[in-house]
Amino acid sequence: MPVMEIKKAGDKVLKEVAAPVEKIDRKIKQLLDDMAETMYAADGVGLASPQVGISVRIVVIDVGEGLIELINPEFISREGCESGSEGCLSVPGMYGEVERYSKVTVEALNRAGKKFRITGTGLLARALQHEIDHLNGILFIELAKTIHKG
């Protein structure tokens, strides 16, 4: 499984709304594997497929509790509000204070095409929102109240 190139802010693929995955085939499963390897190699906690130049609705996340793969993720519920610091593999060396929902529930497909729901608080809630933003062409620097170099 190759480590993929992570696209940086300014690349047009990061501003596109990603297309839904129509069929989970061998290519999609390979993409999930390659994205996970790329995320781990870059010491990230999340990666969306547009960040590796492929504009489809796929996200991988690991906030320290094991790999989560989401295909065509959608928010089911959002509640609360909290501010926190965020960085991004596509915006290296920059961090910002971003206001996010404190608890979110997302529905998605797994690699077997089975629908599931995941509810996150804390870092998982933040990562889910940050990565799904990537699928909608939004970078955290567009939402941050403050930005600083790290």
- The catalytic residues are 131
At residue 126, the 3 state secondary structure works out as helix
Q: Which strand (E) or helix (H) includes residue 36?
A: helix 26-41
Biggest CA–CA distance in the chain, Å, is 41
Q: At 117, is the secondary structure helix, strand, or coil?
A: strand
Cβ atoms within 10 Å, residue 65? 10
Burial class (CB in 10 A: 0-12, 13-18, 19+), 113: exposed
Token duo for residue 12: 């047009």
Nearest to 89 by CA among 53, 125, 136: 53
